[in-house]
């Protein structure tokens, strides 16, 4: 049972806090000789595996490092284009590390802002008056729970679909926010939360919620 | 223990009086400080009291007097003097913990000693999309029999409404 991440979104849709609480997925590092039997293609700012899944390398994995040096988007650490580099037989044998791409902070900001806009769809689509926005979003790998306060702040938790007690966790996070962020006079409202006490107490609350497991209080 | 609280508030007011030298400015500062407290306190209040959104001013008055004042100052003011339009009411405070042991000297006759409270109420309600005007109309420190705070609803704040509240 696990809680994967916590996001806090301010009234304007800006991400003011983000915490990833899961162990990083294992990356796979393998040595290849020419020709490469993975089909790679560019996607946004990265190079991903399009076909040729094997040995722990999955379709959708991004190329994370070449010969031990981390890639910089679509370019190797020394500035060469990754696809060109891997197309040249002279560069082989080559060791490629691939894995699930981790979201950069910019991407998280954009996704939070997109969610903020989408959130309203819940109330707009509703046949009833006064409906809330999106409270839960479910996929096969996680459930996103969202709680919007009366003042417009959103607390978003991504957790394992079987994890229970997220409703009370969201309320607890609201309390932690009202204590360790708001009661800190040096914290300005709507700004990114950089309060250690908030971090610590939040992590504690996540651990308590995880221990409660699938039979915890709440939904 | 409320002594430290009363002393702290008193120290704050007297320091402001020294810094600003005229009562009007002190009143404004107290209101500003109260506002900054209010915008933060509202989240603590909502997180702890689990109160839902108020849909009219009467509900708001009830929540303020019976839950909020009780929670933070340990007193329950009474609600009176509703205007015919239902947009103004008075909170009557029999006792005010901020002014325990306080006497206003003659040279500070226009000082609104507890003006912080007005700012707090104004700031807190603004965060839940209500623009209000709050002022003291009677003050035991000035010789009145009770302390009376008048609250007037101005309008709902429509910009930046949280989704689902339209």
- A92: domain CATH number is 2.30.42.40
The answer, yes or no, to whether residue A189 has pLDDT greater than 80, is yes
Hey, is A66 helix, strand or coil? Answer: strand
- CB nearest A151 (choices: B42, B50, B164): B42
User: In chain A, how many domains are there?
Assistant: 2
Q: What is the pLDDT of residue A215?
A: 58
Radius of gyration of chain A (CA): 21
**Is residue A119 located within the same domain as residue A179?**
yes
At residue A218 the predicted structure's pLDDT band, cuts being 50, 70 and 90, is: very low
Looking at the structure, do residues A31 and A19 belong to the same domain, yes or no? no
Residue contact A183–B44, C-beta within 8 A:
yes
What is the ipTM for the molecules in this complex?
Answer: 0.88
How far, CA to CA in Å, does B32 sit from each of A186, A213, B25, B40, B118? 16, 46, 10, 13, 9
Say yes or no: A13 and A117 in one domain: yes
- Interface contact A178-B44, CB threshold 8 A: yes
Reported as a single tens digit per residue, the pLDDT across B17-46 is 999 989 999 999 999 999 999 999 999 999
- Of A13-22, B46-55, B153-162, the poorest mean pLDDT is in B153-162
- Domain assignment of residue A219, yes or no: no
- Say whether both A59 and A148 belong to one domain: no
pTM, two decimals, is 0.86
Domain that residue A39 falls in:
27-99
- B147: tokens are 């302390």
Burial class (CB in 10 A: 0-12, 13-18, 19+), A119: buried
CB pair distance less than 8 Å for B162 and A189: no
Residue A26 has pLDDT above 60, yes or no: yes
The CA radius of gyration of chain B, in Å to the nearest whole number, is: 16
Residues A11 and A44 in one domain: no
Averaged pLDDT of chain A: 88
- Mean predicted confidence (pLDDT) in A20-43: 84
Smallest Cβ–Cβ distance between A177 and the set B39, B43, B128 belongs to B43
Q: Are residues A19 and A117 in the same domain?
A: yes
- Decide yes or no: CATH 3.30.1380.20 for domain B2-156: yes
Give start and end residues of each alpha helix (H) in chain A. 82-87, 105-125, 166-176, 196-212
Please report which helix (H) or strand (E) contains residue A148, including its range: strand A143-148
**What residue in A sits closest to B40 (Cα-Cα)?**
A182
A61 lies in the same domain as A78: yes
* Percentage above 70 pLDDT, chain A: 96
Q: Give the lowest-confidence range in A21-30, A144-153, B27-36, B57-66.
A: A21-30
CB atoms within 10 A of CB B60: 20
Q: Cα separation of A101 and A122, whole Å?
A: 29
Which CB contacts under 8 angstroms, 24+ apart, belong to B48-52? B48/A175, B48/A178, B50/A171, B52/A150
Interface of B with A in 14-53 (CB under 8 A): 39-40, 42-44, 46-48, 50, 52-53
């Amino acid at each position: 049972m696990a809680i994967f991440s916590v996001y806090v979104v301010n009234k304007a849709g800006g991400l003011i806090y983000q915490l990833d609480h899961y162990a990083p997925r294992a990356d796979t590092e393998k040595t290849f000789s020419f020709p490469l039997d993975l089909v790679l293609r560019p996607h946004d700012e990265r190079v991903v595996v399009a076909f040729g899944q094997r040995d722990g390398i999955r379709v959708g994995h991004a190329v994370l490092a070449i010969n031990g040096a981390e890639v910089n988007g679509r370019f190797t650490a020394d500035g060469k284009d990754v696809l060109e580099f891997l197309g040249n037989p002279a560069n082989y044998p080559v060791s490629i590390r691939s894995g699930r791409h981790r979201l950069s902070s910019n991407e998280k900001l954009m996704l939070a802002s997109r969610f903020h806009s989408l959130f309203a769809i819940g109330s707009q689509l509703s046949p009833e008056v006064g409906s809330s926005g999106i409270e839960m979003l479910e996929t096969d790998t996680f459930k996103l729970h969202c709680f919007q306060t009366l003042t417009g702040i959103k607390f978003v938790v991504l957790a394992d679909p079987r994890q229970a007690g997220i409703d009370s966790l969201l309320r607890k996070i609201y309390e932690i926010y009202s204590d360790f962020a708001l009661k800190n006079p040096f914290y300005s409202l709507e700004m990114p939360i950089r309060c250690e006490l908030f971090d610590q107490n939040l992590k504690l609350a996540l651990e308590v919620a995880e221990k409660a497991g699938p039979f915890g209080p709440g939904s | 223990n409320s002594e430290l609280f009363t002393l702290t508030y008193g120290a704050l007011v007297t320091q402001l009086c020294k810094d600003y030298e005229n009562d009007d400015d002190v009143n404004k500062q107290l209101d500003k400080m109260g506002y900054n407290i209010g915008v933060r306190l509202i989240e603590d209040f909502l997180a702890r009291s689990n109160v839902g959104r108020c849909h009219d001013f009467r509900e708001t008055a009830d929540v303020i007097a019976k839950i909020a004042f009780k929670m933070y100052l340990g007193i329950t003011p009474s609600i009176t003097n509703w205007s015919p339009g239902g947009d103004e009411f008075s909170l009557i405070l029999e006792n005010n913990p901020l002014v325990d042991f306080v006497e206003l000297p003659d040279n500070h006759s226009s000082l609104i000693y507890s003006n912080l409270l007005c700012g707090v109420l104004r700031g807190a309600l603004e965060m839940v999309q209500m623009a209000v005007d709050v002022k003291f109309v009677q003050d035991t420190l000035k010789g009145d029999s009770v302390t009376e705070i008048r609250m007037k609803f101005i309008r709902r704040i429509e910009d930046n409404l949280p989704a689902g509240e339209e």
